[in-house]
A and B are shown apart, each in its own frame.
Chain A
Amino acid sequence: MKILEMNHIRKTFDDLEVIHDISLSVKEGEILSIIGPSGSGKSTLLRCATMLEKIDGGEILYMGERAAWTEPDGRRVYPKGAREKEIKSYFGLVFQNFNLFPHYSVMKNITDAPIVIQKRPKDEVYKEARELLAKMGLSDKEDAYPCQLSGGQCQRVAIARALALNPKILFFDEPTSALDPELTGEVLKVIKSLADLHITMVIVTHEMAFARDISDRIIFMDKGVVALEGKPEEVFDADHTRIKEFLGKFNRV
């Protein structure tokens, strides 16, 4: 089953078209990585998929049903009310800079939304949150505040916070780019463990080895279009000038 489908997405900032007619889909349990040079529109694409940005063309489907689209006259349609809530419940997003709530403890960061938004019973949510924290290797941190944690720990809390809402699909926007190299490993390990649980994920990353290792499919974006798409080895070993240039730059760093 397709969890997410994006068809002919266009996104314009002022007069600059940043996403030109991109289509992609993600099946249940699939891991899709998006790579590409800076400014190619990777974040914008994720922000469109998570409704943080409004599309200027195309349609977005979650669970096979339209979640946002544009009419032939160019008008964009974003459902409101109960349907909007339902759509929001399908996805989670992990930000580059975590965006934890600094005034909430680790536990409260994770449990507040399930209790307040999903109105689930407190005991059950807490029990699940403790299990998540254990999975993240943060069992001893439930009463800590974000300011007392390292960047890697913060990002793991952010992942736990997203997972606590049981999304059908989890988006990551460069989850390790704000981290020191030593801390990157621990976060990548956690994401890898999610892959082993067959959680559907879309990951924007500059960690090429990681992307190659974890992904079922890779999209190489360049200047707002999908320049190349396929299995990791197909993309990484492709005889394609732009990706060779791009990967070449990486290997030199």
Chain B
Amino acid sequence: MRFSVMLEQLSGGMVKSLGIFVLTLVFSLPLGLLVSFGRMSKNKILQTIIKGYISLMRGTPLMLQLLVVYFGPYYLFGMRIGGSYRFIAIIVGFSLNYAAYFAEIYRSGIESMPVGQYEAANILGYSKTQCFFRIIFPQVVKRILPAVTNEVITLVKDTSLSFSLAYAEMFTIAKQIAAAETTFIPFVVAAVFYFVFNLVVAVGMETIEKKLNYYQ
């Protein structure tokens, strides 16, 4: 196989890896915030359920979770799987998993906020929602950015776990070509891809961090 053909096939995989990455963030970042609210809820039942969810997500391998999300509907309800459901299962699996991690990060940020900020907002007449979104959340974002960066970098690498559902992203294709052509080169390309991807992520996050450095 010519190198250019190989690259062409791999680049198709890159786009799909990128898709998983972006969609996972789009869903898991807001979902994580909701989950963190549940985790901090005064309602003990809700709190316990969310605690269980978080420890399940963090305590079992992501690959296993992907398999459960993908095959679960078939074994539980006899639903037909495959086709576009493969991709949906990947996004659902990743989002549920990352939401759990993000929820704990949000929680640590929210709980680290001094009570005086809430009290000042309360006295000035902000409603609870206004207080959260105008005063608390922007400061939380700044506080949790380093922890979020860590997760995002892990996510770049975790997208390769989609190979367990035989979804044709970067790593799956690299493995296929490597096996068919008995060559090591696709792995090198894959390594370069993940590395550069993460470099871009790191630079991007650093830029955001710097932007938020206008206050202490």
Contacts and interface: CB of A to CB of B under 8 A. Distances in A.
Nearest to A161: B124
B125 A102 contact: no
B119 A99 contact: yes
Given A52-B123, A89-B125, A113-B126, A97 B116 contact: yes
Given A145-B214, A145-B215, A147-B215, A101 B126 contact: no
A197 interface: no
A165 B124 contact: yes
Interface of chain B, main secondary structure: helix
B215 A85 contact: no
B213 to A, nearest CB: 11
Contact of B138 (A91, A100, A103, A147): A103
Contacts of B216: 102, 145, 147
A124 to B, nearest CB: 18
B124 A113 contact: yes
B176 interface: no
Interface in A177-229: none
A103 B142 contact: yes
A99 B134 contact: no
Interface footprint category on A: 20 to 34
A85 B122 CA distance: 10
A161 B119 CA distance: 14
B123 A92 contact: yes
Interface string B177-216: 0000000000000000000000000000000000000111
A107 interface: no
Given A52-B122, A103-B142, A165-B124, A116 B116 contact: no
B138 to A, nearest CB: 5
Given A103-B139, A112-B134, A145-B214, A52 B125 contact: no
A99 B116 contact: yes
A112 B120 CA distance: 13
Contact of B120 (A88, A99, A118, A145): A99
A116 B114 CA distance: 22
A117 interface: yes
A117 B120 contact: no
Closest 8 CB pairs of A and B: A99-B120, A99-B116, A147-B216, A113-B124, A117-B125, A145-B215, A93-B123, A88-B125
Interface of A: 50-52, 85, 88-89, 91-93, 95, 97, 99-103, 112-113, 116-118, 145-147, 161-162, 165
28 contacts: A50-B123, A51-B122, A88-B123, A88-B125, A89-B125, A92-B123, A92-B124, A95-B120, A99-B116, A99-B119, A99-B120, A102-B139, A102-B215, A102-B216, A103-B139, A103-B215, A113-B126, A116-B126, A117-B124, A117-B125, A117-B126, A117-B130, A118-B125, A145-B214, A161-B124, A162-B123, A165-B124, A165-B125
